[in-house]
């Protein structure tokens, strides 16, 4: 695609690029707020030190001695990303982690830009909308970011393969040597070792091949050449084979539906909510942007009835369905939809007012969405990248300096951070991995200080697990945590630390004398 000729258009592009960079920098300089990031980081350290993957959970004392299939998946499915995290931390501490954010964001935005199909100014505007919506909805400190990059890269490869094969109709299906099969196999193999979302890649390959094959049913569907389809088929199969080169091999297909645990637990995790529930329950107004993009994608398809690509429609329909029902997949839909939307909006590029309106809307959106993040660049001076408002930083310092005995009970969302600070010498009760799904509910029962039924009463549960000290926030959602109130009044427990966002209670009988 040729570069824009008019000099004024180049200046517009440069201005939009600066807006993209500026808005992204503001978001990428936020403190670390992802509870799960810390157990990923600690697991990377453990793998690096032991030179192997964990066969059992080294960080919690409530995990089952023999891991279930789902638990084994959680322990091993992210190992390459976890080592990457630890490598960045070992190289530059928290600054290394922040720099890694910039690298991953640049990679993701580059992949999305590579798929553009319309006017450069319009496509850059659409990319800014994606960047702002993405950074609002997702934290950059989780392995799922690599899944989004892998998904976009997979689509780039499939589209490029098809286009290249169509331009060389006389070549055999394995044209250019083994370049395409090896490329897809390598991308899928890497993806399968950084995040369990590679199963999405397997589904994408299957949908892509099925849709391209279905086009041969009728000429009106504009099938590709037989050479191109053979190349797609061989390369797609190579990608599927490469995805099986991971610690769980084909067993990984069985686990994503099991590892979340109880169905009710999904309700407590924001990313598993539908876009409607996210708006109603958590006031996530960014989902409105997603709905607008969905409407634009539908309009883009309907605007070209004679040029409908069933592969494109199949991918839009599948990702759109999952994105509407689960926030986790919103980015996947946007990666598919943005080139289609950019192409659609570019039809109005001849009307100067339309292009000006798009640019003005994008600038306004970026400024409005990023306004709450503007103070964050000052964090560069302090170097405090871990949010003290959200994690028990000072409580962990106290525990490290103390001689508290017995096992620890901890708030669920703090489990990952406490793993990073205290494990493996001190192990947690519960954390975001959900290794033992029963423990998740027992953590809630204890936190709410239930008295009945007797077998689920908070105090007998603490006794059963030999809990010697408790690390909890005094408040949750603006209300006093029931367990905090119970422990503060119970003669068997003593407040040994209370500062900021955390309190530590110790069992009187286990205090050092």
The predicted-structure confidence for 106-153, as pLDDT tens digits, reads as follows 999 999 999 998 888 889 988 998 998 899 889 899 999 999 999 999
Strand order in the sheet with 502-507: 407-410, 467-472, 502-507, 493-499
Is residue 389 helix, strand or coil?
A: coil
Please write the tens of the pLDDT for every residue from 204-226. Answer: 999 999 999 999 999 999 999 88
Decide: 29 and 21 in contact? Cβ < 8 Å. no
Model confidence at 261: pLDDT above 60 = no
Distance (Å, whole) CA 64 – CA 76: 16
In the chain, residues under CATH classification 3.40.50.12610 are 393-510
Q: Quote the pTM value.
A: 0.91
Q: How confident is the model at residue 353 (pLDDT cuts 50, 70, 90)?
A: low
Please write the tens of the pLDDT for every residue from 49-98. Answer: 999 999 999 999 999 888 888 899 999 999 999 999 999 999 999 999 99
- Proportion of the chain above pLDDT 90, given as a percent: 62
Q: How confident is the model at residue 455 (pLDDT cuts 50, 70, 90)?
A: low
State the average pLDDT over residues 188-201. 95
Model confidence at 361: pLDDT above 80 = no
Distance (Å, whole) CA 158 – CA 111: 13
Of 326-335, 362-371, 374-383, the one with minimum mean pLDDT is 374-383
Residue with tokens 């289609």: 340
Model confidence at 365: pLDDT above 80 = no
Sign of CA dihedral 359, 365, 371, 374: negative
Model confidence at 404: pLDDT above 60 = yes
User: Residue 308's pLDDT is what?
Assistant: 92
Decide: 491 and 508 in contact? Cβ < 8 Å. yes
User: Residue 381's pLDDT is what?
Assistant: 67
Distance (Å, whole) CA 251 – CA 259: 12
Please write the tens of the pLDDT for every residue from 18-28. Answer: 889 988 988 89
The per-residue b/e assignment along 190-217, b for 16 or more CB within 10 angstroms, e otherwise, is bbbbbbbbbbbbbebbebbbebbeebee
Model confidence at 379: pLDDT above 70 = no
Question: Regarding predicted confidence, which is higher, 482 or 1?
Answer: 482
Of 229-238, 391-400, 436-445, the one with minimum mean pLDDT is 436-445
For 438, the token pair is 């029963």
User: Residue 267's pLDDT is what?
Assistant: 41
Of 45-54, 265-274, 457-466, the one with minimum mean pLDDT is 265-274
- What residues contact 468, with CB distance under 8 A and at least 6 apart? 404, 405, 406, 407, 408, 506, 507, 510
User: Residue 169's pLDDT is what?
Assistant: 60
Q: Which CATH class is domain 393-510?
A: alpha beta
Angle, helix 144-166 to helix 226-243, in steps of 10 degrees: 160
The overall average pLDDT reported for the chain is: 88
User: Residue 377's pLDDT is what?
Assistant: 59
Model confidence at 159: pLDDT above 60 = yes
């Amino acid at each position: 695609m040729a570069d824009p000729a008019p000099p004024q258009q180049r200046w517009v592009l440069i201005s939009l690029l600066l807006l993209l960079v500026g808005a992204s920098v503001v978001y990428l300089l936020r403190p670390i707020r992802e509870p799960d990031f810390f157990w990923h980081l600690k697991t990377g350290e453990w793998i690096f030190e032991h030179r192997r993957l964990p066969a059992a959970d080294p960080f919690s004392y409530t995990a089952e001695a023999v891991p279930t299939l789902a638990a084994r998946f959680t322990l091993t499915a992210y190992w390459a990303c976890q080592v990457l995290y630890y490598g960045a931390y070992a190289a530059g501490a928290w600054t290394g982690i922040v720099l890694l954010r910039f690298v991953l964001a640049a990679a993701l935005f580059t992949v999305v830009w590579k798929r553009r199909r319309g006017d450069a100014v319009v496509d850059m505007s659409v990319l800014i909308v994606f960047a702002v919506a993405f950074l609002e909805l997702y934290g950059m400190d989780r392995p799922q970011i690599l899944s989004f990059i892998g998904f976009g890269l997979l689509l780039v490869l499939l589209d490029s393969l098809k286009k290249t094969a169509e331009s060389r109709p006389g070549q055999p299906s394995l044209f250019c040597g083994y370049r395409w099969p090896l490329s897809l196999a390598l991308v899928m193999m890497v993806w399968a070792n950084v995040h369990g979302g590679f199963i999405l890649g397997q589904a994408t390959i299957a949908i892509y091949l099925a849709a391209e094959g279905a086009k041969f049913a009728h000429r009106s569907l504009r099938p590709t050449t037989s050479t191109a389809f053979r190349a797609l088929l061989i390369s797609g199969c190579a990608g599927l084979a490469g995805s099986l080169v991971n610690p769980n091999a084909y067993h990984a297909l069985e686990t994503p539906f099991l590892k979340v645990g109880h169905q009710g637990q999904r309700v407590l995790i924001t990313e598993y909510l539908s876009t409607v529930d996210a708006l109603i329950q958590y006031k996530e107004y960014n989902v409105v942007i997603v709905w607008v993009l969905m409407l634009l994608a539908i309009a883009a398809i309907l605007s070209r009835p004679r040029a409908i690509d069933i592969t494109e429609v199949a991918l839009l329909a599948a990702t759109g369905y999952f994105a509407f029902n689960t926030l986790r997949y919103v980015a996947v839909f946007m990666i598919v939809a943005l080139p289609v939307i950019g192409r659609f909006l570019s039809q109005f590029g001849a009307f100067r007012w339309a292009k000006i309106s798009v640019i003005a809307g994008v600038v306004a959106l970026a400024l409005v969405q990023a306004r709450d993040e503007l103070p964050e660049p000052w964090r560069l001076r302090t170097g405090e990248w871990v949010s003290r408002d959200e994690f028990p930083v000072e409580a962990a310092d106290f525990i490290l300096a103390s001689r508290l005995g017995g096992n620890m009970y901890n708030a669920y969302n703090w489990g990952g951070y406490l793993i990073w600070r205290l494990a493996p010498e001190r192990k947690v009760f519960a954390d975001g991995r959900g290794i033992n799904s029963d423990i998740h509910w027992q953590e809630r029962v204890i936190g709410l200080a239930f008295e009945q039924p007797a077998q689920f009463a908070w105090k007998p549960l603490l006794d059963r697990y030999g809990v010697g000290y408790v690390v909890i926030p005094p408040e949750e959602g603006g209300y006093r945590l029931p367990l905090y109130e119970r422990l503060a009044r119970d003669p068997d427990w003593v407040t040994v630390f209370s500062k900021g966002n955390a309190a530590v209670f110790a069992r009187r009988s286990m205090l050092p004398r």
